[in-house]
Structure 1
Amino acid sequence: MNSESWQVKATILLVSSLTIMSMITISASLPDMTKSFSYLPNAASLVKLVLSFPGLFIAISAIGAGLIIDKFGRLKLLGIALVLYAIGGSSGYWLDNIYLILAGRALLGISVGISMTIVTTLVADYYQGKARQKFAGIQIAVMSIGGIIFITLGGFLADINWRVPFLLYFFSILILPFTYLYLKEPTKYLEVKPLDKSIKSPKIIWFVFINIMLMWIIFFIIPVQVPFYLKSLGVEKNALIGIAIASSTFFSAVSAFSYSKIKDKLNFQQVFCLGYFLMALGFITMAISSSFLMVILGVIFTGLGMGVLIPNANIWVMQLAPIEIRGREIGRLTTFWFMGQFLSPILLLPLLKIISLAQLFYVISIILIGLSLLFFILHLKRKK
């Protein structure tokens, strides 16, 4: 198999695009979905949980997926995961019970935990050095572009009915044949000796994992809270809400495409410093916003920051993880990534009972500036 062929790359990128659409495709549906289930106690909290609930099950399943693919191979589970993705993802269209919809979202999460762990591990297996660095940036960029397409479609479809965007999850079935045609078990992985339990990654990898969780707790505020923030500013069209969230995703794609060139000039710590600073600018801008356009500017800054943070974290983990336990470590990366998304609304809902969304954005911007300074200090220590 030629890993440089466009068919192999396109297939990996298509499977990767399912990850981001799994969570945020239905963002624009949340306000109308809340109205539909308004007869339930805590309807708003339950509906927001529909968006983030897959994250918990991605986090749980990714660890197991990583262990399995290290032992039995990378590709055995991928086809099953894509079928489960379509079944679980479309549940909101077919079901009238919010708790059954949450069960469907759990199934969606399990499928993503498996598929994302597999494709991210394949990127590490198929590509090395500069080629890996470049492809990781392209992978995140294409995921973002896929997010733009599905968020925007979700916004327009939500104006028909909040249930219709759930049908977009059938996209995984269209990708399924290509995974069997073009993806093969990597040769270098097959040559690796049986797992030695004494093999471990450097301890700093846990610092990277925790950092991944923090950045997703913060960034996931955009799809969860911005729809409600825009409603409070008088924006009623769900399509406009979809465009706002898609703007963040689009500009994360722009910076992710540039990641390889940025990484050539900066080390891992400097890239994190830059990314967090851009996100801080974004949240400050949203905090002072009084119009739709100001919110758009804010989400653009957050997108630019996140676009370099994600590939930077992924590449750092790939570099730190020995090939013998690469699947396990990338499974952990996936776990911390989506645990952050799941925890985001849970941690922030209590805060929103005592402060406004604008005040929350101020608090988040201060935290982001602190994180940016932390990585700047780590860079200075590394330089010494």
Structure 2
Amino acid sequence: MKVKSIESNKWELKLTLLLVSSLTIMSVITISPALPQMAQVFSSVENAEFLVKLVLTLPALLIALFSPITGRLIDRHGRLRILWMALVLYALSGSAGYFLNNLYHILISRALLGMSVGMSMTIVITLIADYFEGIERQQFVGLQIAFMSLGGILFIGLGGILADAGWQYPFLIYLFSLVVLPLSIRYLYEPSTTQNSASGNAQAKAPSIIWLLFFNTMLMWVIFFLIPVQIPFHLKAIGIEKNSLIGAAIAMSTAFSALSSFSYAKLKSRFSFLAVFSIGYLLMAAGYICVALSNTYMVVLVGMMLSGLGMGMMIPNTNMWVMTIVPPQIRGKEMGKLTTFWFLGQFLSPVIIFPVLQIVSISSTFMLASGFLFLISVGFFVLSISKTGKALTP
């Protein structure tokens, strides 16, 4: 494929990358406001409440499984054709929930959706590393996460409104990928990296610190995913019945995540990678305390704001650190691993939290999570001021 000049269509290219990125967050949280209603509709199914929560998070497991496969494929065969196939599969599998009335069939369609996102997410992160360098990359990584968060606000809000009309309607939002497809064909190009990487990827190797980043990413998402999975049920428990208000609460976390991500480049110019993680975890801890102690809608909103601010700075911080230390020849493979740990955390969140909820309430679960987040924040702070931490940070 002929390589086009990035300068000739730069804003169109950037917008297309941002739109593809928005499909990732949309893939999971769009149907979150409909979960309580789905639990009622399928109440006759054994373990319905758990399976309905699995509808939300099952895509994350398939994303985790298919991301490393995608990473290896795009290092060998290029990025774009696999991306186009993923966008078509995204529309078909995502919208299938509108037409299906069997919970297990819906789970199968969600698994296929996860496969498509595993491909598209890995490719878009890799393309950002391919297309941009230095401060421009740092700025765009922050912009990407901010745009994803803003997309989350739109999609979760729209999902809440549509859920009030019927639990099936939010599934139609996934057809949006058919709008993104022609833009990706028109404005994205195959980077030269993929043409030269086959001969050098056997010798290239990422530094061992990357595994700390991978496992930290998984941990971040295990804890943060308490919000879309458990907040709808917590709000119902304190008397909030309207799905649109539930969607608005979750959207508040994504709104403040966008604000934080948009400011990431300025934050990173003042703090090290490790210090940013310490600040982010501390903000999340404060947010989860608010949720744990809340008995009104407004206090939950404050918790959503604080936790969103924390998560919003940590996602681009992780992506930027990985992009900085990974050799171009194995970029796709390592970005695939990052995507794997990202969504493995999302999938494992309800699996890990479910037995906890059999012992304590949702409020107590958020309290326990807050204490754990605080300890992690302290750990990153200590590491950031130590000689070891400074030696690890590029």
Same-fold status (TM-score > 0.5): yes
**Aligned with 1:176 (options 141, 159, 181):** 181
**Aligned with 2:307 (options 302, 307, 315):** 302
User: Structure 1 residue 383: deviation in Å?
Assistant: 4.5
**CA displacement 1:280-302 (0-9 Å, x = unmatched):** 00000111111000000001100
> What is the CA–CA distance in structure 1 between the aligned matches of 2:61 and 2:104, rounded to whole Å?
15
**Structure 1 residue identity aligned to 2:6:** S
Q: For residues 80-119 of structure 1, what are the structure 2 equivalents within 5 Å?
A: 80-119=85-124
User: Structure 1 residue 200: deviation in Å?
Assistant: 1.1
Which consecutive residues of structure 2, in runs of 5 or more, have no partner in the other structure? none
Which consecutive residues of structure 1, in runs of 5 or more, have no partner in the other structure? none
The answer to whether residue 203 in structure 2 is matched with residue 198 in structure 1 is: yes
**CA displacement 1:308-348 (0-9 Å, x = unmatched):** 00000001111111111000000000000000000000000
> What is the CA–CA distance in structure 2 between the aligned matches of 1:308 and 1:190, rounded to whole Å?
33
The answer to whether residue 151 in structure 2 is matched with residue 146 in structure 1 is: yes
Matched with 2:284 is 279
> What is the CA–CA distance in structure 2 between the aligned matches of 1:62 and 1:362, rounded to whole Å?
33
Matched with 2:263 is 258
Matched with 2:19 is 14
User: Structure 1 residue 146: deviation in Å?
Assistant: 0.5
The answer to whether residue 380 in structure 2 is matched with residue 375 in structure 1 is: yes
**CA displacement 1:146-191 (0-9 Å, x = unmatched):** 1100000000000000100000000000110011100001124434
Q: For residues 224-373 of structure 1, what are the structure 2 equivalents within 5 Å?
A: 224-373=229-378
Percent of matched pairs sharing the same residue: 54
The answer to whether residue 152 in structure 2 is matched with residue 134 in structure 1 is: no
> What is the CA–CA distance in structure 1 between the aligned matches of 2:5 and 2:135, rounded to whole Å?
17
Whether contact under 8 Å (1:3, 1:9) holds in the other structure is no
**Structure 1 residue identity aligned to 2:203:** S
**Structure 2 residue identity aligned to 1:165:** P
> What is the CA–CA distance in structure 2 between the aligned matches of 1:168 and 1:193, rounded to whole Å?
38
User: Structure 1 residue 92: deviation in Å?
Assistant: 1.3
> What is the CA–CA distance in structure 2 between the aligned matches of 1:117 and 1:167, rounded to whole Å?
24
User: Structure 1 residue 193: deviation in Å?
Assistant: 5.5
Whether contact under 8 Å (1:92, 1:101) holds in the other structure is yes
> What is the CA–CA distance in structure 2 between the aligned matches of 1:265 and 1:336, rounded to whole Å?
28
Whether contact under 8 Å (2:60, 2:347) holds in the other structure is yes
TM-score (norm 1): 0.98
Matched with 2:61 is 56
User: Structure 1 residue 3: deviation in Å?
Assistant: 3.2
The answer to whether residue 208 in structure 2 is matched with residue 208 in structure 1 is: no
The answer to whether residue 141 in structure 2 is matched with residue 155 in structure 1 is: no
Whether contact under 8 Å (2:76, 2:194) holds in the other structure is no
TM-score (norm 2): 0.96
User: Structure 1 residue 87: deviation in Å?
Assistant: 0.9
Whether contact under 8 Å (1:84, 1:111) holds in the other structure is yes
Q: SS of 2:81's equivalent?
A: coil
**Aligned with 2:6 (options 3, 6, 23):** 3
**CA displacement 1:73-123 (0-9 Å, x = unmatched):** 111201110010011111211111111100000000000000000010000
User: Structure 1 residue 196: deviation in Å?
Assistant: 3.8
Matched with 2:35 is 30
Whether contact under 8 Å (2:143, 2:261) holds in the other structure is yes
> What is the CA–CA distance in structure 2 between the aligned matches of 1:121 and 1:376, rounded to whole Å?
29
**Structure 1 residue identity aligned to 2:121:** M
**CA displacement 1:237-275 (0-9 Å, x = unmatched):** 000000000000000000000000000011100000010
Whether contact under 8 Å (1:125, 1:189) holds in the other structure is no
Cα RMSD for the two superposed structures:
1.0
> What is the CA–CA distance in structure 1 between the aligned matches of 2:93 and 2:383, rounded to whole Å?
42
Q: SS of 2:240's equivalent?
A: coil
> What is the CA–CA distance in structure 2 between the aligned matches of 1:113 and 1:97, rounded to whole Å?
25
Q: SS of 1:235's equivalent?
A: coil
